[in-house]
Amino acid sequence: MKNTILTLIKESATNKKAYEALEKIYKLYDQLQYSSNIKQMAEDIYLWLHSNFDIDNVTVSLFDIERNNKENIFIEGDEFYLDDSLSFFFIVNTHTTLNAIVSFSASSQEHYEIINSQYNTIEAALFQVSPILQSGIIKKNFIESISLDSVTKVYNRHYLIENLTRHINLSKKEYKEIYFMMIGVDHFKAVIDEFDHDIGDQVLVELAKVIHTNICEFDMVARLSGDEFLVSMLSTNNEEDITRIGKNIIEDFSKVGVQVDKSGQILKKTICIGVDIYETSNSEDTFDKTIKNADIALYEAKNRGRSQFFIFKNLKAEDTIELF
């Protein structure tokens, strides 16, 4: 592929097609240098393929060699498979545990022949931008390592607070109240004691999925420690909405089963939720204080039994918080 580019450079002085092919290659190279992240790079690759080769069906994915897992980071157009007769794919070796796969499909046999005749240009372009993609993947890995929980792939506490603060400061919307939900699995330690940490991790992954299916894209989720998740609700500050969402999460998770052995034994767990409100106009209110109060509300909910929902403001002086 490097030789392809060298050949094009030599021929470009007298060959118009070679010159045009080089122009296309370096246009993609220049564009990707301004991309801020790997997803933007994937979109720019699609736009380049679409504008230069009329390719509508594109998928860019990352393949984790260690985990044998593929993550699609960009999909445009109709679904296709790598072994389809009209498909092409290019593997970008990033020399990390993640390789990028750029795959695309022609719209017809005639279109396939046209792309095939120009595939050397596409291949050379993707080879040329491989170092940029590698840099994007390394950046993605670094950001995830400092911001995401390794098990559930939700934010950690520090990143949620940092991201939430940035969002509030940059947003044109005035947030007067922000509800925080603290979510914990009932008797989670028993899962570890009876089974193992892998089963415990599966329970947490399923809980993270349930939380995400019940909240909006503007709401943020973080795993704090153990079995506890924190949700900042930016989509609504209506207590009835918060209560409904919380109880839906409790109900939906109670229906989820985790297989614990090869015989098909299924484990079902329950959760409780504690809630407190951060008032932006109150100078004495802080995120840390609100999170602590939501945690207290969670433990009060757990003291009342399984599948309970409790709001901190309803805590009475005679209530006894037994932490366990």
Supply the CATH number for residue 279's domain.
3.30.70.270
pLDDT score recorded for residue 296: 95
Both 178 and 34 in one domain: the answer is no
**How many domains are contained in the chain?**
2
Tell me the two tokens of residue 294: 């939501």
Query: Residue 154: which domain range?
Result: 148-314
Both 125 and 174 in one domain: the answer is no
Closest Cα to residue 66, out of 42, 93, 99? Answer: 99
The identity of residue 100, as a single letter, is: A
Domain boundary among 112, 145, 178: 145
pLDDT score recorded for residue 6: 73
Tell me the two tokens of residue 292: 């602590």
In three-state secondary structure terms, 274 is strand
Both 39 and 139 in one domain: the answer is yes
Both 108 and 219 in one domain: the answer is no
pLDDT per residue as tens digits for the range 164-210: 887 777 665 678 889 999 999 999 999 988 888 889 999 999 999 99
pLDDT score recorded for residue 318: 66
Predicted TM-score (pTM) of the model is 0.60
CB < 8 Å & 24+ apart, contacts of 104-109: 104/49, 104/55, 104/57, 104/58, 104/59, 105/55, 105/57, 105/77, 105/78, 105/80, 106/55, 106/57, 107/54, 107/56, 107/57
DSSP-derived secondary structure letter, 188: H
Name residue, tokens 């969670």. Answer: 298
Decide if 320 is inside a domain: no
Enumerate residue ranges in the chain where pLDDT < 70: 1-3, 5, 94-96, 141-146, 170-173, 318-324
pLDDT score recorded for residue 323: 47
324 vs 310: CA distance, rounded Å: 17
Bridge-partner residues for 267, per DSSP? 258
Closest Cα to residue 312, out of 295, 177, 238? Answer: 295
Domain boundary among 82, 116, 145: 145
298 vs 45: CA distance, rounded Å: 47
Residues near 237 by beta carbon (within 8 Å), at least 6 away in sequence: 175, 176, 177, 178, 179
Both 125 and 160 in one domain: the answer is no
Tell me the two tokens of residue 77: 């157009």
Residues near 214 by beta carbon (within 8 Å), at least 6 away in sequence: 245, 248, 249, 252
Domain boundary among 145, 179, 197: 145
User: Are 61 and 70 in contact, with CB atoms under 8 Å apart?
Assistant: yes
Decide if 285 is inside a domain: yes
232 vs 138: CA distance, rounded Å: 29
Supply the CATH number for residue 83's domain.
3.30.450.40
User: Are 154 and 204 in contact, with CB atoms under 8 Å apart?
Assistant: no
